[in-house]
Amino acid sequence: MRVFIIFILFSVFNITHSQYGWNVQNSGTTQKLNSISNTYPHTYLWAAGNNGTILVTTNGGINWLTQNSGTSNNLNSIKFVTPYKGFASGNNGTILRTTDGGITWVTLTTGTSMNLYTISFDYYVWPDSVYTLYAAGQNGTIIKTTNFGVSWFSQNSGTTYDIHAITVFYYNDVWMAGANGTILTTSNGGNSWNIVNSGTMYR
């Protein structure tokens, strides 16, 4: 009897856990997708990619719909903070903003023509007050907005290497990483950036 019970439990365990893993979803596009972002409720996700591609799902990826980004530039990063408010950054200084979940995207004036590989909100924002964002990319470019993207100003990163990732650890405490083992950090919102020795030359 003990052997029989153990066998049943083992079988149930296998059946239960065999459902976990990765499943291929039909995105409906052949474009390269470079970034994905979700927000609460977690069934809402957006993906962005080459040639201005933006996709959205509201049911956890069962169906993906194409949104009109209004640009043909490659989009490298997308970030949403609510189901309505989001930004995307891309090549040639492109930054897009939406306040209606991507039904309409507005192209913002960034003041740079460099490729922007990453964009991020400040550490914590209320859904109704998204103001401070950072975007970074080609040749060490860093730009910042404190008014929801209405105006952007450049910051001196101290490097000419491409920047590919941003994480905001806390208010004004920001880290960036990129090519040639580059790691940058600031504790004053980017007024000054410090280069950290990462110990590697890899991107």
Domains of the chain: 31-167 (2.130.10.10)
Partner residues linked to 86 by β-bridges:
80, 98
Q: What is the pLDDT of residue 9?
A: 39
- Residue 182 Rama label (left phi>0; alpha psi -120 to 50; beta): beta
pLDDT digits (tens, 9 = 90+) for 159-183: 999 999 999 988 889 999 999 999 9
pLDDT digits (tens, 9 = 90+) for 94-122: 999 999 999 999 999 999 999 999 999 88
Q: Lowest-confidence range among 7-16, 54-63, 83-92, 148-157?
A: 7-16
Q: Is 197 exposed, middle or buried (0-12, 13-18, 19+ CB in 10 A)?
A: exposed
Q: What's the Cα-to-Cα distance from 164 to each of 98, 116, 136, 175, 180, rounded to whole Å?
A: 23, 8, 7, 11, 11
